Structure 1
Amino acid sequence: MQGFDKRSMSECEIRTKYITPAIIDAGWDLHSQIREEVNLTKGQFLVRGGVPKRGTRKFADYVLYYQSNMPLAIVEAKDNTHSVGHGMQQAIEYADMIDVPFVFSSNGDAFLMHDKTVSSGIELELSLDTFPGPSVLWEKYRAWKGFSDEAVSLYTKDYYSDASGKSPRYYQVNAINRTVEAITKGQKRILLVMATGTGKTYTAFQVIWRLWKSGAKKRILFLADRNVLVDQTKNNDFRPFGNAMTKIKNRTVDKSFEVYLGLYQALTGEDESKKIFKKFSPDFFDLIVVDECHRGSAADDSAWREILDYFTSATHIGMTATPKETKYVSNINYFGEPVYSYSLKQGIEDGFLAPFRVFRIDIDRDLSGWIPEAGKTDKYGNEIEYRIYNQKDFDRELILEKRTELVAGRIADFMRKTDPYGKTIVFCEDIDHAERMRQYLVNALPEYAQKSKRYVMRITGDSKDGKAELDHFMMPEERYPVIATTSKLLTTGVDVQTCKLIVIDKQISSLTEFKQIIGRGTRINEEFGKKFFTIMDFRKATELFSDPDWDGPALPDDDFDPDFEHKQKDTDPDQGDGRIRYYVNDVEVSVVAERVQYYSANGRLVTESLKDFTKNAVAKDYPTLDEFLNHWTDAKRKSAVVRELEEKGVLIDALKEQVGAEYDPFDLICHVVFDRPPLSRKDRAKKVRKQSYFDRFGKEAREVLDAILDKYSDEGLLDMESMEVLRVDPISSFGTPVEIINDIFGGRNNYMKAIRGLETCLYSAEC
């Protein structure tokens, strides 16, 4: 490598000339064992002012694999102006993410190795020619994990892959490998906790595929409690099982298949004659996977547990987004502690799940309650019991019709301003409330409801018409239904990828139920413009976000009945118990408080205006205007400063909407954060032209600089120093970038000096 000055090389050049050859020379195969620039995350969507923008992705410079499903090591590269170990902390973070024990950092001089498999000498510097080979790291890994030869054969079995190239995300790889590892060690009950929308079913498929293909598990049963879930699974993620798979239906049993999907209601019942699962011998299945196991399977006397207890010799895997842990019921006790957890917060931070904003709306009667005057009757002539009625009573024992009208009106106003065809779920107290809400929404959005009777549908357990529309509601390609009013039926297990608005108009005291409801909106579908969602809260339910356990694995929750859906579906808890409902149509209601909250980069809801949030975020790093000015002036690339700000949650595009699109990021920040009057890009360009800066250059150089200044004025050019600006019209008419730099400016140094001087004129008082 003589003739090269390492310190002048870019990171990419260091990797190409030193790091990659050292890894290959150690015995790693370039095509099957070395992957470069591996995206670990997609970059969190940050939302301000209704404008979503992705943050920076996390990617590893190198991931080294023993086999395609077996990551072993992370290598982080830096250029030679940094020390050998400069990238180690970042590399360890990535290694923790992908669950590997070997971590390397290099600047092209040597490697620093961090080895989690040893108790001493954890970090060691290695020369370039002593990088460890794949067999060395695999044997250390195998000893660390305690794998037997039989376990190795199972653990190294590959994933299913098809022509689409889809492969598991890093956390899915972790979940799959942790599950298979637990099985190789003889664990019979296994729990996976993965947030709604993170691909639990796909993960389950890959686990089953590896176990089935290896012959470790020959007959498998996948259990769910919703017919739509079973059908989704069979037709989508489990499709590769093909003719080896069947769905148990019509209470018939065919023992010639290997992979069975079952609705637990189809397998069991109160009468012994309905317990179809007993037509199989107790040792028929080797593996049972229970989807959404926080519900029926958690209770000792539930039907799911009856099935699990019958097939006691099989390995049982439970999958859930919200594990149950109460004094009455616990799937932690049954399945054990989770072998892997991936939370909603992690999913949002990684950019795999949609973030949200909250519109919290407080209604006067909800806060102060309502007391009827003595002898007052409702609209049907029933005398109303004299007492104070509060939010817990509304839409259950007392219906204030003008309150329902107000809620429907607010939903309608929001949809008109944002997306009238954005999929929306309105969670109501019960069936009666869901039906009334449907009626009021039809009247609140007549211009859309007239176009299709399916614009607003009540989708509840008792409604054949509504349930028939569920598949259409879930499909992104289907326009109708747009709005679904419901109570319990859509709380869990329904995959509405394009759901943009969730409305909560019911009492929610259960953190489990709350998390399930929020999970209806967390899927991202960029093809259909779904990057975030909005929660409209009329019942203070979003106060549960402040609960320290809202995103944790174990929930102290004693009130929620996990088997409620199986026992009652969407039945009306207030009908048939002797109580009277009062329908009141002459009590006025009004909104007394509204606020907007945003999901911040640190995973908390912030109640701030866009400008306040920007001011607070910037001031943490730049308390004074001078400090920000110095940082901006010193930055070689202004876009790097903007990226830094956006990673802290500051959204420049949203600020442009509020302050003005004619300002560049510098003026937006100076104005919003430091109260400095902004100058438009055109005004800044005029200011430069009035000064004598251009006079020091020849005619052609002045013309080039003037054209660059025009680009800035008209289009908001941010990185003048980028050579790409020389490739666009009209600047490209002066010649190629090399010709412009050498022939017109007399070399790169002169050109860069001219550009930096132009930037100084733009942003300072004098040139």
Structure 2
Amino acid sequence: MTPEEKARQTIDQKLAAAGWVVQDMKELNLGAASGVAVREYPTDTGPADYLLFVDRNPVGVIEAKRDEAGENLTAHEAQTERYASARLKWRKDSPPLRFLYESTGQIIHFTDGADPRPRARELFHFFQPQTLATWAARPDTLRSRLADQMPPLPERNLRECQVSAVTGLEQSLAQARPRALVHMATGAGKTFTAITSAYRLLKFGGAKRILFLVDTRNLGKQAHQEFMAYTPPDDGRKFTELYNVQRLSSSRIDGSAQVCISTIQRMYSILSGDPIDDSAEDISLAELPDAGTHKLVRYNPAVPIEQFDFIIIDECHRSIYNLWKQVLDYFDAFLIGLTATPDNRTYGFFNQNVVAEYSYEQSVLDGVNVGYDVYEIETEITKVGAELKAKEWVDHRDRQTRAKRWAQTEDDTAYTNTDLDRSVVNPNQIRQVIEEMKTAVETRIYPQRNEVPKTLIFAKTDSHADDIIKTVREVYGEGNAFCKKVTYRADEDPDTILSNFRNEYYPRIAVTVDMIATGTDVKPLEVLLFMRDVRSRGYYEQMKGRGVRSLDAESLKKVSNSADSAKTHFVLIDAVGVEKSLKTESRPLEKKPGATLDQLLKSVAVGGADDDTVLSLGNRLVRLAKQLDDKALARIKQTSGGIALNDLARGLVSALDPDLVVADALDTAQAASITRSADTLTTDELDAARHQRVMAACQPFDDPRLRDLIESARREREQLIDHINPDQVTFSGFSAQAEAHATATVQAFADYLRDHRNEIAALDFFYQQPYRRRQLTFAMIEELHDALSRPPLMLTTERLWSAYARVQASKVKGADTRRQLTDLVALVRFALGLDDELRPFADSVDKRFQEWIFRHNAQRTTAFTDEQTQWLRLIKDHIASSCSISREDFDYAQLADKGGLQKAWNVFGEQLDKLLEEMNEELVA
């Protein structure tokens, strides 16, 4: 066939797949189907390559070009327009045709002439006839509605950053820009923003259906919950009462669903025909090694390219690249990306069209998120490793089953920090870190708390997580409920554990590998312990993002009883140098022991013989062959029918050798008496030869016994348990960054006191020392505290005290006591230089009370009686907690229990008022 004939053959096939009946002009029968594509239909400017009829009405035209013209299709748009505007032979009515295509068969360009500014766009396939009929029946188009019919956004219940994101997105859509990136910090409400946009696109933009794309089942559940909870500002009903929302769990998309939530894995499975294992939706594709695809996406009439008008891509920095990008290329939809951590790849994919940018730093200033301090724990073995000498008796533990055997080491085994918790486990190193964390949290980080703040520990592997959990429970002397593992392989339901961690008292500490490293909302988190290094800058920022979410005092107190204020910050405890390690722009694929090889073996077993998978499996087996002993290699060779593991690996790699593929193709052609040379082999012949070679190389892995044996051999590589080398903490303290932050916090406090001295009553009281004219009241302190704790300062009493403890440790007392609101008095006095030491307000009141009562007793002919002294101590305690006392205060708490004002009057008589005035002045001064 000529190139033109080949192009038309492909076009015919694609039109037929989309539901069109393709006819030559001499076979014209417009009643044959709803959609008919007529070849070479005559017009007054010549025959159109294809004229499209829907229900007997002409609606569009296709200009067909040979493959070589693919990259120049835009040059033929004028020709298509000429046919679209021409008079059609044998028809009296010949209005301009609206739908214009240019195609080589492989490449399809489409223009809707009714759009405000008609612009060609590339399509994966042709639209179905009913789609064009539906569009033709409407007086407007999706793009015209986006440009002209979107009303102003009601800003009620929306943050400023969310308003900016929705309006910025709608401005981009009004310009028909196909891709838009929303960059919003973790905790700023990306999903809420996306749902707000989805509601407006459905209601005012007339969108038919929106795909909300995630890359893990957990994120899909979380998104579905937010859709169910969302109430639009102009309607009292929930989103799910107004529109059908389907969370996809099969290959069937509900025709009545206006929003479909799906993992990219499931959508790929639907479009490629590759079966999906449910567990594949539990782990992000970005976190799997060699997560290559098995088949190319192909047209699915049940899910046509026009199925979705918009695709909202959650966490779009992760799993939409490489071959998985096919899912996005398939649909004719606007792409809207959501991420807190874009990298260069993300910006490139979305054509640098950033419609909203809200950084983490800005979110902290606005009080949407909280800042963090870094606390470092360094141990000797964490830093430099250790060595196990030959002939030492130690445990050898199976990674998978964790079964142990007591045996001697064969050789000297030196291990570094990178080997730690992988090939060698040092329980004492884990214990040193956990014990130091416990001490630091209780004495330096959150000394005022009665319970352990909600803590998340990042482990290297599932095995490492189990070791950490065992140690945590022992160090804290707690039971199973205290510390839980939250990973995809947890024996308990991870969703239940995660929900309890978020909303209940237990667990206090969670250990994870990857499940809640990104995207998952756990607002009460106040401590993150990194026992795993991370080299990707974006992934590290995502992991830190688990702690940044702000939380009000009441909600925090529900899960952490002794918390007496809103969440103001979190502490990142760095036990592996993660803050200092070099970071790359994009996250390297994680090597996941126990999952990687098994995944590749199963992939080839079910027909996933694409180049990436075959080469990856070959490389894995080459490495494994170097690590196994002779016994294991012999067992594999016997089970495989005499093929050694190295040869199995080489067979996979060589199956894709281009020279060998060409040689096989030539042999096949010669056997069929077809004359071919290397230069004249067709694509089909080369593909057939490659397929045959790959199938032959993969055939041994059809045997489940061989797959199981290879996987079990990998698991038999054991971990050495080093009980011999004790570890010791070499440094424990806040990082230089945290020290600098503390200095900045102290300076911000001093600047605020200076700049607002005339605006707040409490500050006026102190600045008027020693000539004050009125007493300090609790209401004044509350006013000052409210002003300081609001964004952008976020300076709570607890945070200020902690900052002073780091900057001027020798002058700060009572750092390990629980803070009270009246401690703000001590902070102000210390900052203004009225006191040489910073000590809790109650301690200062106690000291002044002792001096005052001693002085009184010395001046009086008769000392205070025991009953009077007891009452004076009650009055002192009230001043310590409330800054002052008046007659009205005798109706409350302990004073009322002792008889109230009447009893106090009986004890002190007419001198009571004078004593109260004197104590207010002396004890607070």
1:617/1:650 contact within 8 Å kept:
no
Residue 364 of structure 1: aligned partner: 380
d(CA) in 1 for partners of 2:298, 2:450: 47
CA separation of 1:558/1:384 partners in 2, compared to 1, >3 Å: closer, same or farther?
Answer: farther
Q: 2:314 aligns with which of 286, 291, 307?
A: 291
Q: 1:439 aligns with which of 457, 466, 470?
A: 470
String of CA shifts for 1:690-719, please: whole Å, max 9, x gaps. 999xxxxxxxxxxxxxx9xx9898425989
Matched, 1:404 2:423: no
Matched, 1:300 2:322: yes
String of CA shifts for 1:362-386, please: whole Å, max 9, x gaps. 1122234323445556433363764
- 1:420-459 to structure 2, matched below 5 A, reads 420=451, 422-446=453-477, 448-449=478-479, 453-459=480-486
- 1:510-521 to structure 2, matched below 5 A, reads 510-521=536-547
d(CA) in 2 for partners of 1:650, 1:668: 11
Question: Match for 2:370: what amino acid?
Answer: A
Cα displacement (A) at 1:457: 2.7
CA separation of 1:245/1:717 partners in 2, compared to 1, >3 Å: closer, same or farther?
Answer: closer
- 1:715-734 to structure 2, matched below 5 A, reads 715=879
2:377/2:733 contact within 8 Å kept:
yes
Residue 701 of structure 2: aligned partner: none
d(CA) in 1 for partners of 2:410, 2:586: 33
Question: Match for 1:184: what amino acid?
Answer: A
CA separation of 1:583/1:223 partners in 2, compared to 1, >3 Å: closer, same or farther?
Answer: same
1:226/1:493 contact within 8 Å kept:
no
String of CA shifts for 1:430-461, please: whole Å, max 9, x gaps. 12211222222233344x31xxx444333323
Q: 1:467 aligns with which of 494, 500, 503?
A: 494
1:424/1:502 contact within 8 Å kept:
yes
2:251/2:270 contact within 8 Å kept:
no
Q: 1:560 aligns with which of 588, 599, 602?
A: 588
Cα displacement (A) at 1:673: 7.4
2:538/2:586 contact within 8 Å kept:
no
Cα displacement (A) at 1:500: 3.1
d(CA) in 2 for partners of 1:294, 1:455: 34
Cα displacement (A) at 1:189: 0.3
2:539 aligned counterpart, secondary structure: helix
Matched, 1:153 2:184: no
Residue 309 of structure 1: aligned partner: 329
d(CA) in 2 for partners of 1:272, 1:667: 68
d(CA) in 2 for partners of 1:730, 1:219: 64
Matched, 1:249 2:239: no
Question: Match for 2:721: what amino acid?
Answer: Y
Cα displacement (A) at 1:589: 0.6
d(CA) in 2 for partners of 1:395, 1:246: 42
Q: Percent identity?
A: 20
- 1:187-586 to structure 2, matched below 5 A, reads 187-238=177-228, 240-242=239-241, 244-269=244-269, 272-274=272-274, 278=300, 279-297=302-320, 299-301=321-323, 303=324, 305-311=325-331, 313-325=332-344, 329-373=345-389, 376=392, 378-380=394-396, 381=407, 383=409, 386=412, 388-411=414-437, 418=449, 420=451, 422-446=453-477, 448-449=478-479, 453-465=480-492, 467=494, 469-476=496-503, 478-526=504-552, 527-529=555-557, 531=567, 532-543=569-580, 557-558=585-586, 560-561=588-589, 578=627, 581-586=719-724
Q: 1:180 aligns with which of 166, 170, 180?
A: 170
Cα displacement (A) at 1:349: 2.4
CA separation of 1:533/1:763 partners in 2, compared to 1, >3 Å: closer, same or farther?
Answer: closer
- 1:127-142 to structure 2, matched below 5 A, reads none
d(CA) in 1 for partners of 2:222, 2:586: 31
Question: Match for 2:541: what amino acid?
Answer: K
**TM-score, with length taken from structure 1:** 0.59
- 1:33-112 to structure 2, matched below 5 A, reads none
How many residue pairs get aligned? The number is 542
Residue 588 of structure 1: aligned partner: 726
CA separation of 1:562/1:276 partners in 2, compared to 1, >3 Å: closer, same or farther?
Answer: farther
String of CA shifts for 1:358-413, please: whole Å, max 9, x gaps. 33111122234323445556433363764653322211232112112223434555
Cα displacement (A) at 1:539: 0.7
d(CA) in 1 for partners of 2:186, 2:598: 21
Cα displacement (A) at 1:185: 1.8
Question: Match for 1:651: what amino acid?
Answer: T
1:457/1:466 contact within 8 Å kept:
no
Greater relative CO (CA pairs within 8 A, separation 6+): 1
d(CA) in 2 for partners of 1:588, 1:629: 54
Question: Match for 1:229: what amino acid?
Answer: L
d(CA) in 1 for partners of 2:796, 2:509: 32
d(CA) in 1 for partners of 2:598, 2:370: 28
d(CA) in 1 for partners of 2:624, 2:484: 25
1:341 aligned counterpart, secondary structure: strand
d(CA) in 1 for partners of 2:360, 2:772: 36
d(CA) in 1 for partners of 2:298, 2:772: 71
Question: Match for 1:190: what amino acid?
Answer: A
d(CA) in 1 for partners of 2:392, 2:742: 44
Question: Match for 2:836: what amino acid?
Answer: R
1:217 aligned counterpart, secondary structure: coil
Residue 645 of structure 2: aligned partner: none
d(CA) in 2 for partners of 1:591, 1:673: 38
String of CA shifts for 1:99-133, please: whole Å, max 9, x gaps. xxxxxxxxxxxxxxxxxxxxxxxxxxxxxxxxxxx
2:253/2:260 contact within 8 Å kept:
no
Residue 23 of structure 1: aligned partner: none
Cα displacement (A) at 1:337: 3.8
Cα displacement (A) at 1:462: 3.0
CA separation of 1:507/1:686 partners in 2, compared to 1, >3 Å: closer, same or farther?
Answer: closer
d(CA) in 2 for partners of 1:339, 1:634: 57
1:294/1:562 contact within 8 Å kept:
no
Question: Match for 1:404: what amino acid?
Answer: I
1:241/1:259 contact within 8 Å kept:
no
String of CA shifts for 1:502-536, please: whole Å, max 9, x gaps. 22101122222211111112223331337143322
2:389/2:409 contact within 8 Å kept:
no
2:271/2:298 contact within 8 Å kept:
no
Cα displacement (A) at 1:179: 1.0
Alignment root-mean-square deviation, CA: 4.9
CA separation of 1:482/1:292 partners in 2, compared to 1, >3 Å: closer, same or farther?
Answer: same
Question: Match for 1:251: what amino acid?
Answer: S
Question: Match for 2:415: what amino acid?
Answer: Y
CA separation of 1:429/1:763 partners in 2, compared to 1, >3 Å: closer, same or farther?
Answer: closer
Residue 900 of structure 2: aligned partner: none
1:359 aligned counterpart, secondary structure: strand
Question: Match for 1:300: what amino acid?
Answer: N
Gaps (5+ residues) in structure 1?
1-146, 160-165, 548-554, 599-603, 693-706, 732-754
d(CA) in 2 for partners of 1:346, 1:581: 45
Question: Match for 2:322: what amino acid?
Answer: D
Q: 1:606 aligns with which of 729, 739, 744?
A: 739
2:168/2:356 contact within 8 Å kept:
yes
